[in-house]
Chains A and B, each alone.
Chain A
Amino acid sequence: MTLEEIKNVIIEIIQDIDEDADLSSLNPKEALRDQLDLDSMDFLDIVMELRKRYKIQIPEADYPELASLDSCVNYLGPRLQSS
């Protein structure tokens, strides 16, 4: 997967969690939680969806890596290369 594709997957997952969220003007460097109505249960939804789609296990210690769109892409990039 390209980094752009990974970014789109994350956006798609968030959109599925909150269909009403406006994701068009997301700042990729800023924390997702500061820009969207997301809480810890929503982050677990993102982790679960990635597990379902790509069989990827994200340990709890790595959750901070999913803070922003950019950090998600950087963290997932090497892990999803073969996908």
Chain B
Amino acid sequence: MTESPEKQRIVITGVGLASPNADNLIEFRQKVIDGQSGISEIDLRYVGRVPAGICSFAETKYRKKKENKRGTRAGCLGVYVAHEAINDAQIDFTEYDPNKTGVYIGLTEHGTVETENEIYNISQFDYNTDYWTHHHNPRTVLNNPAGEITMSLGITGPHYSIGGACAAGNAALIQGAQMLQLGDVDLALAGGISESTGSFGIFASFKAQNALAAHDDPAKACRPFDMNRNGIVVSEGACLYTLERLDDALKRGARIYGEIVGYAMNSDARDFVLPYGKRQAECMIKALDRAGLKPEDIDIVNTHATGTKQGDIEECSAVREVFANSSSTYINNTKCIIGHAMGAAGVLELAGNLQAFEDNIVHPTTNLENLDPMCNLPNLVQNEAKKIKNVRTILNNSFGMVGINSVVIIKKYE
């Protein structure tokens, strides 16, 4: 592989996250290795009791309760993880100009929660719109979570959201890398956020589609690749990375978690909800080509699989097609542990695997009691973590509705 000049090489130097089972990277890594679930049960308006992932983190660590009340849950999650990422990267904005810092946030959707809440509010007043809140528009504009982050950190460079269904987190990571490569910014905060657990409509829609998971034990509700899987567990979550050009990161002596060496996005151009393995395989191959890597160079494939019948099979067919001759590639899934964090899913799941560069452990795919033969991938790491010789590359899949696919490849920086 020919290496790009250092100004074109993009590295991850900081991670901030909120997952249903952790509020920082170290704890998160341990929990995914142990397969410790973050899924519980919530009682949702109109829908009732459903398994879901709710994050517990220090909501007032970086801004006042008043600001959390005014803003959105996505903004609250975003502000927390943005500060955590900046702190983790040891950036104090003396080395970077806030005007040359960009905030790129992947969202599956935004405004659904706020709109549902407001309709419920005016239902208490006979649907008189005089009681509709003035906070509605600033809360529901699509740039809301990114904008709340800039206000909290005093970042004056560009901020916007990337709408990419459940591929959005990866899409934002790609956007951040590209903006750095273009020289549009010198520092990027990129990743994804989801507040979807606040929306009854999202749960009800999955249920109507027969794609909402149910299980007596909420921790076992999300079971990708298992014969008895019965759908998605919706989670909230957020994960942001600080991205820098390699030369800048080296200059300031930053710790480097990994390098974004390959990425790709494509479209199924086919169906509103059904995924399509052929395009997913093409997307993985495109990312490998961009990275100058062969399938056998990939040590871990972190799958997108959500626990739906067809979705899991489609992805397994794609992984099988691309990695058929790669006996040293191990496969896992993170949603079985944390649920589907929608816009945050790709980046959060990547974070769960990132420290494999340090510990050489492939975290397990949990809740596998009866493996679906259609999902029986060689080297699928089942139920117990697996230590392998050397993890140098991770390929992260993230796909979404209306046929959007994203793949990111991260390489250990050596």
Contacts and interface: CB of A to CB of B under 8 A. Distances in A.
A52 B70 CA distance: 18
A18 interface: yes
A27 B338 CA distance: 50
Contacts of A57: 130
B232 to A, nearest CB: 35
Contact of B131 (A18, A19, A41, A52): A52
A20 to B, nearest CB: 6
Contacts of B130: 51, 57
Interface stretch (B61-69, B183-191, B233-241, B359-367): B61-69
A51 B125 CA distance: 11
A37 interface: yes
A37 B134 contact: no
Given A51-B130, A52-B125, A17 B66 contact: yes
Interface string B65-81: 11001100000000000
B206 to A, nearest CB: 33
B64 A48 contact: no
A48 B129 CA distance: 12
A45 to B, nearest CB: 8
Contacts of B133: 48
B135 A41 contact: yes
A61 B11 CA distance: 55
A20 B133 CA distance: 22
A51 B131 contact: yes
- Tier of interface size on chain B: 10 to 19
A26 interface: no
Contacts of B135: 41
Contacts of A48: 131, 133-134
A57 B69 CA distance: 24
Contacts of A44: 134
A18 B60 CA distance: 13
A57 B131 CA distance: 11
Contacts of B65: 18-20
A37 B66 contact: yes
A48 B69 CA distance: 15
Contact of B66 (A20, A51, A52): A20
Given A48-B134, A51-B131, A41 B70 contact: yes
A57 B130 CA distance: 9
Interface string B119-151: 000000100001101110000000000000000
3 nearest CB pairs, A to B? A18-B66, A44-B134, A19-B65
Interface of A: 17-21, 37, 41, 44-45, 48, 51-52, 57
Given A41-B135, A52-B125, 6 more contacts: A19-B65, A20-B64, A20-B66, A41-B70, A48-B133, A48-B134
